[in-house]
Structure 1
Amino acid sequence: MTVLSIEGLSKTFDMHVLGDTRVTGLDDVSFDVHEGEFLAIVGESGSGKSSLLKCLYRTYDPTAGRVIYHDGDEEFDLASCGDRVVMGLRGDRIGYTSQFLDEIPRVPAVDVVARPLVEQGTAVEEAREQARGLLDALHVPAELWDAYPATFSGGERQRVNLAQALAPKPDLLLLDEPTSALDPETRQAAIDLLESYLDDETTVVGVFHNTDVVAQIADRVVTLDDGRLQSVVPVTEYDQEVSR
């Protein structure tokens, strides 16, 4: 079953500080995302990976094209539907995490992670217990759970960010470089958690630079170059290309 149908997606940026120069972020990108798969987005810096993810989440308004989200018997064009519809889909249906934690002042890490569960209706202490389990699985020291993330290292903040995104188990999870600041040990812990915590009904689209992570966790790989789609292949074919 198809979860996302991306059709002719384009995004341009008007750079006013550069004399209204128009920069292409995405150029006529089309592919489908299947239910339950882990789809990795790869490419060199500036290839359009993050722009693609932000268009899917509607942080960016696409310039052209469609992004059809199939939710049971309903379909939503994420490229053009109203902001209220987009906000309604975020949370337990569409989740997103970037490399950087959007910190909430004076809120402990455990409550940052627990918040989406509480918003779903989970009792506060039960949500906090689940949050502690996620933080522990990501090797966040217990003495930091009740501390403010603003005081954390970049890698610690990134792990809190990932835990918060995973907590509600969204139907579609968009990950933008979720392990970029992690050392090999904590990166492996994040991969293990992604594989164990999410069930087969969760679809993941993730941007990655690390080819070893892609090889370990992805089902298919989308390659972008200069905003254009180069290929969509099974991870085994991608591994063969990388190893040449």
Structure 2
Amino acid sequence: MTIHFVGAGPGAADLITVRASRMLASADVVVYPGTYLDAEVLSHCREDVVLVDSQRLDLDQITQVLVTSHQVGHTVVRLTSGDPSLYSAVAEQARRLDEAGVPWDVTPGVPAYAAAAAALGRELTVPEVTQSVVLTRAQARSTAMPETEALANFAATRATLALHLAITRTRELAAELSVHYGPDCPVAVVSRATQADELVLRGTLADIADQVEAAGLTQAAVILVGPALDPGRVRPDFACSHLYDPARPR
């Protein structure tokens, strides 16, 4: 048996991969993050599946469920919100599984920042406006950020920023980012992207904090910052991609 770390996507039950759906349908045990996951995602599971909500479990307790289930011959899916490659705690869980001699693998999912961009109908990279996306997070009551990854360092590039785990610090972060992007820089906040209660806020660094506080957002939201969110306003004549230029040799 193998422990399968599976990206559950941003929330919508039909935005998981075909592979993820098949894994859920064959799993004996599914450990899932109840805080962020739309319960409808679990409709892909068998009726007799054992469901374990990890939102109130610590790492030792989660590991015990995974290892014990493996030892009795169960197929286990460990769901993560979004994609396992971002803020999923796969690294520390996998380390413990390695120590216990338990095999594991990873199946990707649709990341939250991609779902947020889709909700906005925006490409995060626009020719000659910005060609980079920085995926990062804020630090408050969480593990410390490496010194080299200060937000100001990323902001100085003026790339598109996708901020996770930052919604409770929107006002402070907007003020810090305004130094580099300017207060009129486009910003969007997408809460619970693709879920029934999805909320989209659009504004600038000057006013987005007011909107977030008025909406009472405290979790499960992605903050996107950068000129690519409104390229026509930032640069009305932004260039077309060289890839599809008719003058490009074919």
Normalising by structure 2, we get a TM-score of 0.30
Which structure has the larger Rg? 2
**TM-score scaled to structure 1, two decimals?**
0.31
